[in-house]
Structure 1
Amino acid sequence: MERLPRLLNVSPATASFLLVQAIVHGEVYQVEWMIGHPSFEHCASYPLIDIAAWAGQLEVLLLLQDHARCTTNAMDVAARDGHLDIIHFLHYNRTEGCTRQAMNLAARFNHMEIVAFLQEHRTEGCTSDGLIWAASHGHVDMVELLLTRYGDTISTPHAMDSACQHGWLNVVKCLHGLGQPCTTDAMDYACLNGHFAIVKFLHLHRNEGATTRAMSFAAASGHFEIVKFLRSHHYRVNLKTAVANARKNGHFTLAQFLTDGVDPTIPLQTLALNV
């Protein structure tokens, strides 16, 4: 520290870099000292409170409270990173507030307490992105919490589609139980990624169905049980694509299964049918 005043006097612009480093690392004494140094005027226009919130440094943030700028990014990033204490402080002591990204990001990373606080104390709410992110990461309790409060405004088929793609059967069941929609992508991408339990659930409980991509995806990935299931339940198939995908990836037994019973005089490219 004894060399710091000389350094700042020679190059005041260096203050911004040093101050940001001190904030990020929670160097309380250094931050306090720099606030009182003339070089601080080079930094005062920066949103330093945002940086302290991002770093989770509440003690430093308290020092900066009366000396630095803050934006909605402060609460947004604190929500993303799970810093509930910082959210409390910003809510009760600042006026910048947050955006809907705060709850979206908290939902993505499953910060239940933060979402509950934002729901109770703030009015911004969230968007369908929060629901999609929670569903795609398997946060079933978060999905239920968001839909219970904001179901009318955040409902989207992409939430169930994403849960199916990533294999979260419990989330799929939750979304289905809450009346959420999906598209054919749900079945198609469950087949691609081998989520057989989800494929069977969708077949039994939904009516969106699938496209020919379902069989082609399953064949490409070598998911034999799913291919047999789709065939036994007469899902549509583009046989040329499905067989080519299976052969390309070395699934020759599966490719043979797909062509069993097909008239060998008919070119595969003419076949896009139920089998």
Structure 2
Amino acid sequence: MMATFRSVVIGQPDMAAIVFGYQFGVYEDVRNVFVACNELLEFDVRRRCYDWDASFSSTIAPGAAWAGEGHHDIRTSKYALDDSPWDARLPLHVAIVHGSAHEVKRIVRCRPDLASEDAILLAFSQHRLEIVELLLDLRGAIPELRRCCKVTADGSAQRTSYSVGSLVQSMLTYGDTKSVVLLQRFGLRPDDVTYGDKLLAIESSTLEHATLALDLFPWFHYPQLLGHVANRGFLPLVQALHERGFSCSTYAMDAAATNGHLGVVQFLHNHRTEGCTVKALKGAILEGHLDVARFLIEHRTEGAPPNYLHSLGTFDWTVSAVDNAVADGNLPVVQFLLTHRHEGCARDVVVQKALERCHLHVAEYLLALGYPFPTSMPFVGGFFFGKPCILGVLQLLVKHGASWDDAWMLGLGLVLFAGAPELRRLDELLHSAVKTRDMEAARFFLSAGIGKPRDCLLEIAGRRMHVTTSPLLLPYCMDATNPLDNVLFLLDLVALPDRRRSTILQLITPELTYQGKKANQTTPLARA
């Protein structure tokens, strides 16, 4: 049988490993990831992110749900990338965020030069524990996975600029405790985590995660630990730390009472001598923990006599009481405090706080009492756009002269045309949809004849992040009765500076040919 490359090289693994070790390519089954990153992303230096075209996700993962759905950019900080344009590790890190363990394994196999410790930390941050475990398993064969990419001024390697401390907080909050075990296997070090990181981690952790972390990482202990654990209501851990001789202050019982942790309050009362302050009873009452308040009144001497109703004037309330009630949208409490108490609230910002949290009735009540409308623009988050009161909030803002932003226009596209014409900014609607690559909204506005598609196309043609949006606009830029004008417009696109000419030519060539033929048929030639 005639010898072939397949039989001689590929058929012998040892020989194949030597030959392919000199190659510098990518496997075919991950080529789509590299193509998408090279052709459909555009780096924004000012914002330090990669803006993507609408087809990016489907190119990366055809037929699969994309982990970045709902976003239109890749922020270097979120993806553990350098702030400089075109970090070569981008395809690997995109695969990690997407959660494709197969693609991650294949990419680090064919391009180990892209691997680093950042890849493991990124997998941690995205809660891709399967990928974390995979990369930890591969560290023996791919030493680059131990490489620290950040170099300090003195030339020493330092663990990534990606915040390890925030990862610890995240690993102690979600999922099962396997994440904590993987952190130990990764090699978490004392100098990776600051005091603030420890505090935030305990404040957000579960009892199981915190208990295991304190066992696996003895250096995670800090002087105020018992008080912060009491604040979380972790009674078994409070008991364990007490037995191990940890100290605390009055903060422990104050915090436990304010957060309604009766069991912790009782344990501290029975087994500790630090006691509490008036903040314990005051906090329990303000937060509505009557069982805790009753226990404190019956067993402690700090604070107030048994009759603790507001009418006795026992407590020195602060403006934060009203501010917190406004932030929670608790109109009855706001009305009660403003009617029966004299402390008031943060007058200049309280209406803004109500509007930012979409508490329309609270805002209207405060305005009726004479509280000022905010001088700065309230930020209404996208979370509130599905709530029934959002239209009323935006109408109130518009009534008081607030300016529009993209989120308002796109989030309420259909609502705006259902009976609130005073909210419409027609041309800006299409521009906002195109700018944010909201394809569904753009199709709706184009089909409704809203906006100026030519202006939009002039702004985006030839840009990587608008490869899909541009063909959507193009048919609406063509005048059915003036092919010559269409030809001139298409040539204007080719002349645009600082654009990818190959992308523009791919976009316009078929249309330019068609419009040129129409112009030739309809435009009379001058006679000699």
Task: Select the residue among 79, 86, 89 that pairs with 2:326.
Answer: 79
Q: Corresponding residue for 1:15?
A: 250
Which residue does the alignment assign to 1:107? Answer: 355
User: In the TM superposition, what is the alpha-carbon distance from 1:23 to its structure 2 partner?
Assistant: 1.0
Match for 1:231 among 462, 471, 477?
Answer: 477
| Equivalent position of 1:169 in the other structure | 413
- 2:288 is matched with 57
Matched residue SS, 2:358: coil
Gaps of 5+ in 1: 248-253, 264-275
1:193 aligns with 2:430: no
Letter in 1 for 2:356: R
- Kindly indicate which of the two structures has a greater share of residues assigned to helix: 1
Contact 2:461 2:499 in 1 (8 A): no
> Is 1:258 aligned to residue 502 of structure 2?
no
Computed over aligned residues only, the root mean square deviation of the Cα atoms, in angstroms, reads 5.3
Q: 1:176 to 1:215 in 2, by over 3 A?
A: farther
Question: Does residue 91 in structure 1 map to residue 335 in structure 2?
Answer: no
| 8 A contact 2:256–2:265 mirrored in 1 | no
CA distance in 2, matches of 1:97, 1:77: 9
The one-letter amino acid of 1:18's match is M
Work out whether residues 216 and 241 of structure 1, in 8 Å CA contact, stay in contact via their aligned partners in 2: no
Residue equivalent to 1:251: none
Question: Given the two structures, how large is their TM-score scaled by the length of structure 1?
Answer: 0.56
Aligned to 1:250: none
Task: Check whether the contact 1:243–1:255 (CA below 8 A) recurs between aligned residues.
Answer: no
- Give the percent of matched residue pairs that are identical in Structure 1 and Structure 2: 11
AA matched with 2:414: N
User: What amino acid does structure 1 have at the position aligned with 2:249?
Assistant: T
Report the Cα offset of residue 190 of structure 1. Answer: 0.4
Quote how far apart the aligned CAs of 1:169 are: 0.5
Distance 1:245 1:64 in 2: 75
Per-residue CA shift, 1:100-123, capped at 9, x if unaligned? Answer: 543334333333333343333452
1:124 matched residue in structure 2: 372
Q: 1:212 to 1:93 in 2, by over 3 A?
A: farther
- Are the aligned partners of 1:103 and 1:115 in contact in 2 as well (CA < 8 Å)? yes
SS of the aligned residue for 1:18 comes to helix
Give SS of 1:133's match.
coil
Asked if the contact 1:188/1:217 (under 8 Å) is kept, the reply is no
Kindly indicate whether the alpha-carbon contact (under 8 Å) linking 2:325 and 2:331 is maintained by their aligned counterparts in 1: yes
Query: Which residues of structure 2 form unaligned runs of 5+?
Result: 1-234, 294-306, 480-485, 514-528
For the pair shown, the structure with the greater C-alpha radius of gyration is 2
- The separation in 2 between residues aligned to 1:16 and 1:90, in whole angstroms, is 27
**CA shift for structure 1 position 133:** 1.3
Question: Is 2:430–2:452's contact at 8 Å kept on the other side of the alignment?
Answer: no
Shift in Å, 1:167:
3.8
Give me the whole-angstrom Cα distance separating, in 2, the residues matched to 1:68 and 1:29. 26
Asked if the contact 1:219/1:227 (under 8 Å) is kept, the reply is no
Q: Is the 8 A contact 2:462 2:501 kept in 1?
A: yes
**Distance in 1 between residues matched to 2:502 and 2:253, nearest whole Å:** 58
Instruction: State how far apart, in whole Å, the 1-side matches of 2:412 and 2:418 are.
Output: 10
Q: Quote the offset at 1:219 in angstroms.
A: 6.0
- Going from structure 1 to structure 2, the CA distance change for 1:257 and 1:183 (only over 3 Å counts) comes to closer
> 2:253·2:275 contact (CA, 8 Å) conserved in 1?
no
